[in-house]
Amino acid sequence: TGLWQFMYPTGKHLGLKINSYVDERCDPYKSTVAAAEYLKYLYGIFKDWRMVLAAYNAGPGTISRAIRRSGGKKTYWEIRPFLPQETQGYVPAFIAANYIMNFAQYHGMSPAVPRKNFLQIDTVFIKQQMSFDQISQVLDVPVEEIEYFNPQYRKFIIPSGNNPLCLSKEKIAHFITEKI
């Protein structure tokens, strides 16, 4: 689930909150921090980025078993026949995606334009439970936009606590002045 496609146990292991209201695997910021930490951890084990990618996909235990089955080989290409089918294709697919990101213009491709860039977005922390409908009515923002910038909330509700609400800077400023 989410930008980094974390499985439930991996997300929990990395400290991401996952419950019936919030799934931080879908929070772009928190999941990216967790992914960077996880990649760093995997690199500390395997010391090779292709092996790290394979471990990211299949899990470090699967990679360690493939190393043993291969007779102790240490590179992705050497252990590839001992990996699950999906992982055998994962690293080549990553290499292909990296290629297309760097040479898209030569293949008639262009990047998608985001709705807002990083500098146009702001965050405020909500202490009491609030529904997307309530926020939509007060700020005159479509629920779809609130959902787009806050994909971690499962039920269109920001639960009580200290939870972030991300929207355009103008709407966040309005939110603060309205003291919702």
165 touches 132 (CB < 8 A): no
Q: Which two tokens stand for residue 116?
A: 């807002």
CA distances from 140 to 127, 131, 176 (A): 21, 14, 14
Phi/psi at 127 (5° precision): -95, -35
Q: Name the DSSP class of 23.
A: B
Question: Rounded distance, CA 73 to CA 14, Å?
Answer: 29
Mean pLDDT of the chain: 95
Q: Indicate the pLDDT class of residue 72, thresholds 50, 70 and 90.
A: very high
Q: Name the DSSP class of 164.
A: E
pLDDT in tens, 78-107: 999 999 999 999 999 999 999 999 999 999
Higher pLDDT: 178 or 154? It is: 154
Strand partners of residue 125: 164
pLDDT in tens, 13-62: 999 999 999 999 999 999 999 999 999 999 999 999 999 999 999 999 99
Confidence at residue 96, expressed as pLDDT on a 0 to 100 scale: 96
Residue 179 has pLDDT above 80, yes or no: no
